[in-house]
Amino acid sequence: MLLEVKNLDAGYGYLQILRSVSLNIEKGEYVCIVGPNGAGKSTTMKTIAGLISPMGGTIFFNGENITGLPASQITKKGISFVSEELNLFVNMTVQENLYMGAYIIKDKKVQNERLDFVFSLFPRLAERKYQLAGTMSGGERKMLAIGRGMMSDPKLLLVDEPSFGLAPQLVANVFESLDVLIKAGVTILLVEQNVTKTLAVTDRGYILENGKVGLEGKSHDLADDPYVRKVFLGV
């Protein structure tokens, strides 16, 4: 078991959002969390990434208890987070952003190998490596954020709402690049609002509602589930 989240409670200040969320991910799996707005999908991701400290429950990664560790420590354990807001360094070039993604790797040679790997995944980034991140288009920024997340050679990549605010063509591009990563052997936990598309590409899914896991199972089973079809797909 790569990631094991048990009875996780989390929230902001006195406002509790997650109530006893449990989920687990095996190595090499492509898992998604779907659900309506305000269900706590992003909160789950931020809590796993260490940006929010949990109120209760445990998070085990690779058999190690990482509950409540700060984000910088969690990144060093091998979890990389691509946030919804992307959090790029807008006044740095594409290449500098990618090197910052490999901040936890001290060996310059390994950094350059990772850079070549990311450039081979996203040739567009290689073309624009001296451009400031803040001057790129929305789709390119998503690519850069995913590329930056890959620079630290993570065991688990958390991707939050990659299709948010993108044109349909670019959404397809982002999903394609995630497919490439899965084939390269990366484990991905994906949060999405685009339920149809997400359940079509992932292995397993969790449906989050009001801060609780409503349903879980194989993605194609979930896509056929009458409740899911009625509530999320509108059929």
Partner 1 sequence: MSNYTVSKFLTWTKSAAGISIVATILIAVFAAINSGPYLLVNTIITGGMLALVATGLTLMLGVLNIAMFAHGEFFMIGSLTAYYVFTPISNYLSENPESFLAVIGPLIAILCAAIAGALSGIVAEKIVFGPLRRRSSDNWVMNSFLLCVGLSVLLVNMHQLIFGAEFKGIVQYWKGMPISIADVFISRDRAMAFVISAVIVALFWFFMTYTRTGMSIRAVSQDITGAQIVGIDIENVVLLTISLACALSAVAGGSLLFMYPSYPTVGLEPLYLAWFVVILSGLGNILGAVAGAFMVALLKAITVEYVGSGWDFVIPSILITLILIFKPSGIFGSDVRGALDK
Q: Which residues bind partner 1 (CB under 8 A)?
A: 13, 49-51, 70-72, 75-76, 80-81, 83, 85-92, 96, 99-101, 103-104, 132, 134, 148-149, 152
How near is the Cβ of 128 to partner 1 at its closest, in Å?
Answer: 17
Give the integer Cα–Cα distance in Å for 44 and 206. Answer: 12
Task: Find, among 165, 231, 158, the residue nearest to 196 by Cα.
Answer: 231
28 phi, psi to nearest 5 deg = 85, 0
How near is the Cβ of 123 to partner 1 at its closest, in Å?
Answer: 23
SS3 state at 55:
coil
SS3 state at 23:
strand
Give the integer Cα–Cα distance in Å for 138 and 10. Answer: 30
Please, which residue, 156 or 207, has the CB nearer to partner 1?
A: 156
How near is the Cβ of 104 to partner 1 at its closest, in Å?
Answer: 4
Please, which residue, 87 or 120, has the CB nearer to partner 1?
A: 87
How near is the Cβ of 191 to partner 1 at its closest, in Å?
Answer: 15
H helices, E strands: number in the chain: 10, 10
Alpha helices in the chain (DSSP H): 41-49, 71-77, 94-101, 108-121, 123-127, 138-151, 168-183, 195-201, 219-224, 226-228
Please, which residue, 55 or 132, has the CB nearer to partner 1?
A: 132
Please, which residue, 70 or 168, has the CB nearer to partner 1?
A: 70
Please, which residue, 149 or 211, has the CB nearer to partner 1?
A: 149
SS3 state at 27:
coil
How near is the Cβ of 40 to partner 1 at its closest, in Å?
Answer: 19
